[in-house]
Amino acid sequence: MTFAALSLFWGEMPEVGIVSGETIMKAKLEQELSRLKHGDHICLIYESPAEQIAVAVPFIKHGLDRGEHCLYIADERIIDEVVQALEAAGVDIALERQRGALRLATSQDTYVRDGEFAPQTMVDLIRQAETEALAAGFSGLRLTGEPAWSLGPEPGCDRLIEYEALLNRLSRCSKSVILCQYHHSRFDVPCIHDVLRTHPVAILGDQVCPNPFYELPELVLRNDQPAIAPEFRAKRVDWWIARLSQANAAKQQRDRTEIALRESEGRFREIVELMPAAVYVCDGNGMIQQYNRKAVEMWGREPGPGEDVRFCGAVQHFWPDGSAIPRNELPIAETIRNGTLVRNREVVIERADGSRVVVMVNIAPIRNAEGAPVGAINCFLDVTDRRQAEERLRHSERRLNEAQQVAHIGSWERDLRTNEVNWSDELYRLFDLRADEVNLSYQQFLDLVLPQDVDRIRAEVDEAIRERRGFDFDYRITRSDGSAHVLHDRGRIILNDEGEPIRLVGTAQDVTEIRQAEQALQEYTARLQTLSRRLLEVQEEERRHLSRELHDEVGQMLTALRLILKPDADLTTNAARARFEQARALVDELLMMVRELSFDLRPAALDQLGLVPGLLDLFERYANQTGVRVNFKHDGVDGRFAPKVETAAYRIVQEGLTNVARHGGVTGVTVRVWASVDMLSAQIEDRGRGFDAEDALARPRSGGLVGMQERVTLLGGQLTIESRPGAGTQITAELPLQVSDPQRGETGR
């Protein structure tokens, strides 16, 4: 690609976007209209009202924007249409009229206001309007009119062309811009002929064209002009319009070509901007001409105006070994000098803030028509993460080798063609053998394994060979001292060029203590679960008992007391009423306290009505006590579940809400409960302070989280805690529904 072509397509890299051709053509017309200046006298020859409005409305708008007094003269019958068109274009008619910037008049008010048309009188009227506009503080006068009145019967209407010629004398030193609108089909050929003679600028369609057929007023107003045959005049008009149309068509073609090029530029810019690579272009002197946003991101800042950024001098460069690269020795400088391509070369960039980025550069020369390099384009990718990952991998491999030595992991190799086996010294030690005393084969290895494991090992290895995959398994051996050990073996298949297995390689590690610890942990976990289950059952049974006693027995007693403490006939009325009200208030308070205590120990709604009513009651009390609003969402949980499942879900939600109130620092929390065929799920989510979940579970004071975990574990479910400091918390409990209930003889449903 040549530098000129690249610059043509890339340009100055404006905002990415592709605009339609129709929009651009409309914008170009308005741009041409905005370039009209004081003293311009223009004719618009239009074929349809749409063409007329497309020119007249922006003509007036530009005048208002430039602080000119605008006068629109139209036939009385279409004045409302003009107003509607201006309003549709965003002109505030009432406001502009109020400040005197816009006047809408008819031909009866202007051209033929005295019943006849006098050209000089109309010119004087325009001159007076210009003077008044300037005196009122406007920058000039902008006038447009429709000369359809000249087709009327009033005296002087046949002097239209004289008027147009006189306007050109006025325009020479005028502060006015005048647009005359002619509907092509309404005026005869002689009129259109003379209209073209009297207007220096013509508008055809959407093009503003200098009129080469314009004649000075002195020529038009001469009385000794030779007569022109109507046929010749008609041909001349057709030829003039054809020439203007041809010029217009040529200009339109140039505009379309420009639009197509601009759209192509837009697509090219969009591609460059969306590229994941950074891109910049240098000229022959190494000065950066263009760059995309990714390049700025990679450099860490945008090159400043006037800054010496030859060959990207805004940053420092180093080779991967850390040695600095002089500016003139950068890869892009080499390409500009020699015209050579640079492929996949690594360079380190040091940005202004001191941070370094490893980049992979690809550079191509930009040549002139003779093929000489006159610049270069550099595309470079950030490979810092890749290189860091590779370094971490190498470091990990080193640590793994060291760990294998410390862990006494032995390695082995088996030749599938000869069945010979080679062991490392460490593996011999694991088997309590000496390498100089035993020359092992695969069968001899199997003879060292407990007979109960031999068939399984042989089957797993043979299957792995057939399927060309790796394998791992445990097996047991008895050492010479009689001790039993468990080894974990891991291996993989080595294939030849034809894809046939030829070798097995692998490692073996003594995992006896690990397996013993796992077994002990499983037994301990089982005991702990049994103990925790019993503890929770006892707690729940006690709470149920206390709830029933407090709610039924104490409540009935207090209710009876309330009935007994009625007014006594021996007391005075006022005294009895006072004692009665005091007793009633006390009883009401005791009842409320008992019910509150009952709910805290065991919510009655949970047992009597189910999970959803119980939770709704909890949320209401929670919101009243803490001020934290609960957004409750549930699906498929309207029925009843096993009491253990309902209790666990209720207590988990209750504990989660307690944690939110204590630590979340929020005013709202979301609780979701849903059920599938075999699972009941409960989720508590807030957008509060958050915490480190692993650290919290490890702390002995995190009893709430541990209790939630234990409840879920006892039912064989799963508890997921997702939280980070400053990022809120989401706790999800999944409880299996197939949990048998010995009291009710039912499962989770």
Predicted confidence (pLDDT) at residue 718 exceeds the cutoff of 70: yes
Res 401 pLDDT > 60: no
Give the integer Cα–Cα distance in Å for 361 and 107: 72
Alpha carbons 103 and 130: distance in angstroms, whole number? 13
Residues 6 or more apart whose Cβ sits within 8 Å of residue 407:
509
State the Cα–Cα distance between residues 89 and 531, nearest whole angstrom: 82
Which of 93-107, 368-382, 422-436 bottoms out in mean pLDDT, i.e. has the lowest?
422-436
Domain hosting 336: range is: 275-388
Last-in-domain residue among 388, 419, 454: 388
SS3 labels along 124-165: HHHHHHHHHHHHCCCCCEEEEECHHHHHCCCCCHHHHHHHHH
Residue 130 has pLDDT above 90, yes or no: yes
Least confident among 21-25, 140-144, 309-313: 21-25
Residue whose tokens read 């007994």? 564
Q: In terms of domains, do 173 and 195 share one?
A: yes
CATH of the domain at 691: 3.30.565.10
pLDDT higher than threshold 90 for residue 362: yes
Residue 15 confidence (pLDDT): 41
Comparing 10 with 80, the larger pLDDT belongs to: 80
**Lowest-pLDDT range, 1-15, 384-398, 514-528, 642-656?**
1-15
Number of domains composing the chain: 5
Residue 95 in any domain: the answer is yes
Of 737 and 594, the one with more pLDDT: 737
**pLDDT number for residue 8:** 39
Provide the pLDDT for residue 463. 92
- Answer whether residue 645 shows pLDDT above 80: yes
Do residues 159 and 105 both lie within one domain? Answer: yes
Residue 211 within a domain: yes
Confidence of residue 136 (pLDDT cuts 50, 70, 90): very high
Tell me, what's the pLDDT at 683? Answer: 93
Which pairs count as long-range contacts for 245-248, CB under 8 Å and 24+ apart, including other chains?
245/204, 247/209, 248/204, 248/205, 248/207, 248/209
Residue 77 has pLDDT above 70, yes or no: yes
HSE toward the beta carbon, residue 266, CA cutoff 13 A: 13
Question: Same domain for 549 and 642?
Answer: no
**Sign of the dihedral through C-alpha 393, 396, 402, 407:** negative
pLDDT of 681 > 70? The answer is: yes
Query: CA nearest 101: which of 136, 77, 131?
Result: 136
342/303 same-domain check: yes
Whether residue 562 has pLDDT greater than 80: no
pLDDT at res. 614: 85
- pLDDT number for residue 538: 52
Average pLDDT, the chain: 81
d(CA 489, CA 710): 35
Of 234, 196, 223, 189, residue with least CA distance to 212: 196
Whether residues 478 and 621 share a domain: the answer is no
> What pLDDT is attached to residue 486?
92
Q: Which has more confidence, 198 or 271?
A: 198
- Residues 585 and 533 placed together within one structural domain of the fold: yes
Same domain, 43 and 145: yes
What is the band of 256 on the pLDDT scale with cuts at 50, 70, 90? confident
* pLDDT for the residue 732: 93
Percentage of the residues of the chain whose pLDDT score is greater than 70: 78
**259 part of a folded domain:** no
pLDDT attached to residue 93:
92
Q: What pLDDT sits at residue 5?
A: 42
- Residues 40 and 152 occupy one common structural domain: yes
Q: What is the pLDDT of residue 10?
A: 44
Q: Which residue has the higher pLDDT, 441 or 43?
A: 43
398 in a structural domain: no
Q: In three state form, how does the secondary structure of 559-623 look?
A: HHHHHHCCCCCCCCHHHHHHHHHHHHHHHHHHHHHHHHHHHHHCCHHHHHCCHHHHHHHHHHHHH
594 found inside a domain: yes
| 252, part of any domain | no
What is the average per-residue pLDDT within 603-610? 78
Higher pLDDT, 575 or 622: 622
Q: Who wins on pLDDT, 81 or 545? A: 81
- Report pLDDT digits (tens) over 312-326: 766 888 999 989 998
pLDDT higher than 90, residue 71 = yes
pTM score: 0.37
Q: What is the pLDDT of residue 135?
A: 94
Mean pLDDT for the stretch of residues 23-34: 76
CATH number at residue 430: 3.30.450.20
Residue-wise pLDDT for 512-548, tens only, equals: 888 888 888 887 777 677 657 656 765 776 576 566 6
296 in the same domain as 322: yes
Mean per-residue pLDDT for 23-32? 74
- Three-state DSSP class for 625? helix
Residues 83-95, mean pLDDT to the nearest whole number: 91
Residues 435 and 552 in one domain: no
Among 187, 206, 236, the domain-final residue is: 236
12 has a pLDDT exceeding 60: no
Confidence of residue 210 (pLDDT cuts 50, 70, 90): confident
- Domain membership of residue 476 (yes or no) is yes
Pick the last residue of a domain from 578, 602, 626.
Answer: 602
Q: Where residue 19 falls among pLDDT bands split at 50, 70, 90?
A: very low
* Residue 25 domain-assigned (yes or no): no
Name the band, by pLDDT with cuts 50, 70 and 90, for residue 9: very low
Of 61, 47, 38, the residue nearest 172 (C-alpha) = 38
Query: For position 624, what pLDDT does the model report?
Result: 86
Q: Are residues 586 and 615 in the same domain?
A: no
Report how far apart, in Å, the C-alpha atoms of 453 and of each of 481, 518, 642 are. 20, 20, 44
Are 84 and 221 contained in the same domain?
Answer: yes
